[in-house]
Structure 1
Amino acid sequence: MTGGEGFRFTPRMPKALAAVLYESGKPLVIEEVDVAEPQAGEVMVRMKAAGVCHSDLHVMKGDLPMPAPIILGHEGAGIVEAVGPGVISVKPGDAVWPIWRSSCGRCDYCQQGRPALCDLGTAMRFTGLMPDGKTRFRNSKGDSVRHYAGVSTFSSISTMPEAAVVKIEGDFPLWKAALISCGVITGIGAVTHAAQVRPGSTVAVFGCGGIGLNIIQGARMISAKQIIAVDTVASKEVHARTMGATHFIDSTTCDPVKAIKDLTGGLGVDFSFEAIGLPGPIEQAFDSLRKGGTCVVAGICRGDARAQINANQLLYAEKTLKGSLYGSMRPRIDLPRLMDLHQTGALKLDELLTRTWRLDQINEAYASLERGEVARSLIVWD
């Protein structure tokens, strides 16, 4: 199945410039694509900013295989260009967040306040298709191009389900909104919703990338008394301390578990977080807990990754090991709340952005991310 069979493309359809992945391990290809106009229950969005996030890099490298060709990008903000029949939550001209985990609002997970687990978002994430089993992109050769997570924010114009957008109220800078849409909500939510960190707690964060830095600032916002940042790149210390870290450990120079125990009087931390997506740091984060502590995994791993833990610690030390997807948050409710927190001065956004790139620089942007040169960076359109 190509994912485009049965869908009619016409010469009238808009064209967009997109970054297309044709083969894992190869650079993204910048090319013009046709974008189908929104059908019933769909929205066409002109992107203004898109996040350069490690999750897309997993797909580019083949760690998380996806059908190709596919337009990546899942974090961003843009303006509604057009809407299909039946769309009621947004109109042309509205600013919106794309949601990379769409939710139906009706299933058991949605009713429990856990929309990130909804099967609608899961299906689009792993098939690269819209809910009707087709795509809305086609390249110059006439081949169907798949969607990533239902939103494909690395296209200057993208058609997506109405369920995949949240309206941005007021005159809020869209580059800031783009930062909130994935890295911020995932990191903050891991602290406030998944772990439910308490004021005065001790916290360790393994990985100081976009998610890890927001876990750090989430711990700061909740008034944790000790926030220990761990990374293999020493230059990340500046970013970590800016977000609220009280200590920094370069794990290439010492055993981070021992260092954390030393900083906590031999006890370990109340809460630990893994924001990289590697088995080793997951094991270290779990081992760095005190009795009764909670470890939250927020980093996306390879599809075949396995971590080994001391199972007896779950029993005798009553430790907890859990995951957090999208910060275990409710995007339609919590994205606007995070925007409000920034406007009150509680949530730092300006300090997160290291630099911006044009779409034709996207491969350079990902090389910079891999080298650990940025806290967070964005692809921006004029």
Structure 2
Amino acid sequence: MSITTRAAVIESGGAPFTLSEVVLDDPGPHEAVVRLVAAGLCHTDLGVASGGLPFPLPGVLGHEGAGVVESVGSAVTGVAPGDHVVLSFTSCGECRNCHGGHPAYCATWLPMNLIGGRRADGTSTISRDGEPLGGHFFGQSSFAERALVDERSLVKVDPRVPLTSIAPLGCGVQTGVGAVWNVLKPTTGSAVVVLGAGAVGLSAVMAAALTPATTIIAVDRVAERLELAQELGATHVVDTGEVALGEAIAEITGGQGADGIVETTGSTAVLRQGVDALGARGTLVVVGAPPFGTEVSLDVNGLLGGKRIVGLTLGDSETQTFIPALVELVKAGRLPLDRLIATYAFADIDQAVQDMTSGKTIKPVLTF
């Protein structure tokens, strides 16, 4: 039987979110119906809502959902009704990268998560007045009171941890943490630089503080965010409104340069400065996504000192093991996500968007 629910619909690129009654399709064998308790708002949602990506609109976005399973399809084995779940990206489970533990690099990742708006078989998960809407966003479309969720987007979590406090784990936090733990893997005494102190960048700072890196440099232009970065584990901060990035990193590292850099801003100018600030055999992880087709120029001879530039999707995480571990750290107070989160009632989604765009709120979480 189909379920009617209330969702935040983007009618066309650049339009605000409007609350609207929608109908969820019947769950397939590998899907579940989840009652949302909380959903994080991420820059990727805003990028798609602005019309910057070829996602079919009108549509329902949202990809940092957290809630309670209401019903499951006939083939679902990992969760049962009543389970608490964090929703993350989906993947095919069959390709080489999925089998290798790298589902963020699934062969079908783009259409299944970001731009397809449909299930893999082309059918729609959400409709309104009999017309299909863009849905299946990251296998979830969680800007709704109920969501039809792909089995591989579901991660069962400890029910003792409030869902509002862990909703952002599905995308932003996992991305920042994974950049540090899964790619940079800082060794004893290394210097890690985080470019941009938004939700992803501050997650990377918290992650770096849980490694043997001894120098953790947060870079931004907003004084309050740099203060927060220090409270979350940064040993140094750089305000690029006042000092040149390269000079600051050279001074802090005693001329060695950075061992690892996480670039979250999506600015090609910042990316280039970051690559130049790497030390020998240093690695820069590209997390921030500028518009499709954006290019950056690099000093080729500068790369010959063993520098590496690595692109990253969703922290290169295997969600079923990674997210429950992050939940444990939140529960123990070792990953203080609450410092980033401000909550908003679902009906106030446009206010949350405004506060995120203006920089007033680092990570808005909608509550249902």
**TM-score category, normalised to shorter length:** over 0.9
**3-state SS, counterpart of residue 309 of structure 2:** strand
> Which one-letter code corresponds to 1:346 in the other structure?
R
Quick check: 1:229 aligned with 2:223? Answer: no
> How do 1:334-373 residues align onto structure 2 when only pairs under 5 Å count?
334-353=322-341, 355-373=342-360
Deviation at 1:274, TM superposition (A): 0.4
Q: Is the 8 A contact 1:205 1:272 kept in 2?
A: yes
Deviation at 1:357, TM superposition (A): 0.8
Deviation at 1:162, TM superposition (A): 1.2
Q: Is the 8 A contact 2:91 2:112 kept in 1?
A: no
Quick check: 1:329 aligned with 2:317? Answer: yes
**TM-score, length basis structure 1:** 0.92
CA distance in 1, matches of 2:258, 2:271: 14
> How do 1:200-215 residues align onto structure 2 when only pairs under 5 Å count?
200-215=189-204
Deviation by residue 1:180-212 (Cα, 9 ceiling, x = unmatched): 222221111110111111132111111111110
* Aligned equivalent of 2:366: 379
Instruction: Identify unmatched segments of 5+ residues in structure 1.
Output: 1-11
CA distance in 2, matches of 1:65, 1:258: 40
CA distance in 2, matches of 1:142, 1:107: 34
**3-state SS, counterpart of residue 53 of structure 2:** coil
* Aligned equivalent of 1:144: 132
CA distance in 2, matches of 1:254, 1:124: 42
Which of 166, 169, 179 matches 1:177?
A: 166
**3-state SS, counterpart of residue 238 of structure 2:** strand
> Which one-letter code corresponds to 2:326 in the other structure?
L
CA distance in 1, matches of 2:177, 2:263: 13
Q: Is the 8 A contact 1:75 1:153 kept in 2?
A: yes
Sort the Cα spacing of 1:98 and 1:120 in 2 relative to 1 into closer, same or farther, 3 A. Answer: farther
CA distance in 2, matches of 1:61, 1:146: 14
CA distance in 2, matches of 1:98, 1:170: 14
CA distance in 2, matches of 1:63, 1:202: 35
> Which one-letter code corresponds to 1:357 in the other structure?
Y
Q: Is the 8 A contact 1:76 1:177 kept in 2?
A: no
Quick check: 1:161 aligned with 2:155? Answer: no
- RMSD, aligned α-carbons: 1.6
Q: Is the 8 A contact 1:278 1:305 kept in 2?
A: no
The share of aligned pairs that are identical, in percent, is: 36
Structure 1 segments, 4+ long, off by >4 Å, are: none
Sort the Cα spacing of 1:230 and 1:365 in 2 relative to 1 into closer, same or farther, 3 A. Answer: same
Which of 305, 315, 319 matches 2:307?
A: 319
* Aligned equivalent of 2:77: 88
CA distance in 1, matches of 2:30, 2:254: 56
CA distance in 2, matches of 1:172, 1:229: 29
Q: Is the 8 A contact 2:186 2:212 kept in 1?
A: no
Q: After the TM superposition, which of the residue ranges 338-347 and 72-81 deviates more from structure 2?
A: 338-347
> Which one-letter code corresponds to 1:186 in the other structure?
T
Aligned length: 366
**TM-score, length basis structure 2:** 0.95
Deviation at 1:297, TM superposition (A): 0.9
* Aligned equivalent of 2:205: 216
Deviation at 1:266, TM superposition (A): 2.4
CA distance in 1, matches of 2:185, 2:336: 20
Instruction: Identify unmatched segments of 5+ residues in structure 2.
Output: none
Deviation by residue 1:248-274 (Cα, 9 ceiling, x = unmatched): 222122321222112222231111110
CA distance in 2, matches of 1:130, 1:171: 32
> How do 1:278-317 residues align onto structure 2 when only pairs under 5 Å count?
278-315=267-304, 317=305
Deviation by residue 1:154-179 (Cα, 9 ceiling, x = unmatched): 11111122122111134221112212
* Aligned equivalent of 1:32: 21
Which of 103, 109, 133 matches 2:97?
A: 109
* Aligned equivalent of 1:18: 7
Q: Is the 8 A contact 1:128 1:150 kept in 2?
A: no
